[in-house]
């Protein structure tokens, strides 16, 4: 096959890009971060277009004055302070890495730059295998694969191709920091057939300059949870707070212990804890406050979206979650974890084997996860013993005693209550053994009743009525 039997679109593509650049730069942008990123990326796109044009000419042995893409200097970012430029200067050492990052960005902002790859091999009337890539399901443009990156960066140089593969390995900043997402090909197909794309967090950072928190989607069934409350609002027993302090200490000093003390040789990464106890005793709020204090995002996992009746689907869903969270500063919080982390069955049915397979997979992923995992359950007995053995702490959240309940009542009422007789609120705290969550429900009901009556404070009788309603939920009476 003669490599000359091809008509390239490089010249027309370059003209198209230039026209596009003129159009964008003429549009004013009031957002300084967006404008700074746009200016940086204009230069990056122009550079990549020249690199791609040269690679095509070199590969098809067309006339050119240059013999290496390394002779096309990357834009100087020394004095560029855009979010994109600052990230590149901090994390990337080689111009080839920068080109890979640009390729991951192109489908989102200038997809037509890749149109060159749609040219066909005239001998076989099919796309060139060496270009890699594929068409999207809805996106009509070209989606790059690792093969595409290898072609652009090194052409046919085999040893250099091996080096390029390191850009897509777990230890590289692209994968380690979840900058680029790899989508593996079907089983049995070459690794270089994997497509790669920019993760949403970094797409936002490199365009608008704003890094938005990931939130619930069908692909990421977890919700970021926050709270306006503080530790002063959470009334816990001293022994519980001691255990919580251990978790906070690990988060703050874990890297020091693992690396500087050399404990990584004998300890698994990450930290796993089980919070168990009656509903409403502060398990979710505690996880939220740990994250808030130490600057970690806390994601509550939607187990209903994780568990599937189809064999293998639950494991796939969990794999996506753990892969995405692998190198994030997140706390994964599995609320009502019994559904997914329950005791394994001794039965021999297909359903039992399927459930046990899911639990075994979970054990492996949780044990290897380098971050923080917190499970919450109402009953410790509902959690498989195999998980319990792998937890660094099992923390029991008991029902609050009378003194703690009184503190909860005072904190939540926030001054909008007045006793009609001495120590009525104290008598409620001593008499009714209810959780902090139940107390919050009572106060909500009583506050609504007070507002409806035109009052600015909650009456004792409204609290009693609210307690009665709360007890009826549990089949109890005053």
Q: What is the mean pLDDT of residues 231-243?
A: 94
* Residue partners of 231: CB distance under 8 A and separation at least 6: 289, 293
Both structure tokens of 424: 């009525």
Tell me the DSSP string of 63-97. --S-S-GGGSPPPP-TT--SHHHHHHHHH--SHHH
- Compute the C-alpha angle 96/98/99, nearest 5°: 65
Minimum mean pLDDT among 75-89, 322-336, 455-469: which range? 322-336
Query: What average pLDDT does the chain have?
Result: 86
Q: What is the mean pLDDT of residues 445-472?
A: 94
pLDDT band for 306, please (50, 70, 90 cuts): confident
Compute φ and ψ for 249, nearest 5 degrees. -65, -40
Strand pairing category for 134-135 and 330-334: unpaired
Q: Which of 291, 175, 279 is nearest to 224 (CA)?
A: 291
pLDDT band for 349, please (50, 70, 90 cuts): low
Q: What is the mean pLDDT of residues 15-26?
A: 38
Strand partners, 196: 182
CA dist 169 and 357 (Å) reads 28
Q: What is the mean pLDDT of residues 251-274?
A: 92
pLDDT band for 353, please (50, 70, 90 cuts): low
Compute φ and ψ for 389, nearest 5 degrees. -65, -20
Residue boundaries of the structural domains of the chain: 10-207, 222-396, 402-473
pLDDT, one tens digit per residue, over 151-168 is 999 998 888 989 999 999
Q: What is the mean pLDDT of residues 26-39?
A: 75
Minimum mean pLDDT among 269-283, 339-353, 376-390, 400-414: which range? 339-353
* CA 301 from centre of chain: 11
Q: Is 399 within 8 Å of 433 (Cβ atoms)? A: yes
DSSP state of 259: I
Residue 347 clears pLDDT 80, i.e. is over it? no
Share of the chain above pLDDT 90, in %: 62
CA dist 358 and 69 (Å) reads 49
Both structure tokens of 305: 């979206």
Give the model's pLDDT for residue 364: 82
CA dist 120 and 461 (Å) reads 82
Instruction: Classify domain 222-396 by CATH number.
Output: 3.40.50.300
Q: Is 311 within 8 Å of 430 (Cβ atoms)? A: no
Strand partners, 395: 275
The CATH number corresponding to 402-473 among 3.20.20.70, 1.10.1040.10, 1.10.8.60, 1.20.58.100 equals: 1.10.8.60
pLDDT band for 87, please (50, 70, 90 cuts): very high
């Amino acid at each position: 096959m003669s490599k000359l039997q091809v008509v390239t679109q490089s010249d027309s593509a370059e003209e198209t890009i230039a026209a596009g650049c003129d159009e964008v730069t003429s549009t004013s942008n009031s957002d300084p971060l967006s404008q700074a990123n746009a200016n940086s990326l204009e230069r990056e796109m122009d550079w990549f277009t020249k690199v791609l044009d040269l690679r095509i000419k070199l590969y098809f042995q067309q006339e050119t004055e240059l013999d290496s893409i390394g002779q096309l200097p990357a834009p100087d970012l020394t004095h560029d302070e855009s979010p994109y430029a600052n990230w590149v200067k901090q994390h990337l050492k080689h111009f080839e890495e920068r080109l890979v990052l640009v390729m991951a960005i192109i489908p989102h902002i200038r997809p037509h730059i890749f149109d060159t790859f749609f040219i066909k091999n005239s001998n076989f009337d099919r796309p060139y295998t060496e270009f890699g890539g594929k068409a999207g399901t809805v996106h009509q443009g070209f989606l790059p694969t690792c093969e595409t990156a290898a072609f652009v960066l090194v052409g046919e140089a085999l040893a250099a191709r091996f080096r390029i593969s390191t850009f897509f390995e777990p230890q590289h900043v692209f994968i380690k920091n979840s900058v680029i997402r790899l989508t593996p090909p079907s089983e049995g197909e070459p690794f270089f057939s994997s497509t790669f794309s920019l993760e949403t967090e970094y797409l936002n950072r490199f365009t608008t300059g704003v890094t938005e928190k990931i939130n619930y989607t069908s692909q990421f069934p977890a919700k970021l949870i926050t709270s306006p409350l503080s530790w002063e609002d959470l009334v816990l027993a001293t022994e519980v707070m001691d255990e919580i302090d251990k978790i906070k200490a690990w988060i703050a000093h874990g890297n020091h212990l693992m690396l500087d003390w050399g404990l990584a040789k004998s300890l698994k990464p990450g930290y796993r804890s089980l919070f168990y106890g009656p509903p409403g005793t502060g398990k979710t709020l505690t996880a939220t406050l740990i994250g808030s204090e130490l600057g970690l995002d806390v994601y509550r996992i939607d187990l209903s979206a994780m568990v599937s009746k189809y064999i293998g689907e639950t494991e796939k869903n969990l794999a996506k979650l753990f892969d995405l969270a692998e190198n994030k500063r997140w706390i994964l919080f599995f609320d009502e974890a019994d559904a997914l982390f329950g005791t394994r069955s001794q039965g021999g049915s297909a359903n039992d084997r399927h459930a046990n397979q899911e639990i075994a997979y979970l054990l492996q992923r949780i044990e290897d996860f380098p971050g923080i995992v917190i499970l919450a359950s109402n009953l410790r007995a509902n959690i498989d013993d195999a998980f319990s053995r792998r937890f660094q702490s099992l923390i029991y959240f008991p029902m609050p005693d009378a003194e703690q309940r009184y503190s909860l009542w005072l904190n939540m009422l926030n001054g909008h209550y007045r006793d009609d007789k001495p120590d009525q609120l104290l008598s409620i705290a001593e008499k009714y053994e209810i959780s902090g969550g139940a107390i919050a429900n009572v106060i909500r009901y009583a506050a609504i009743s007070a507002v409806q009556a035109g009052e600015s404070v909650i009456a004792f009788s409204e609290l009693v009525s609210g307690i009665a309603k709360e007890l009826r939920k549990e089949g109890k009476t005053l």
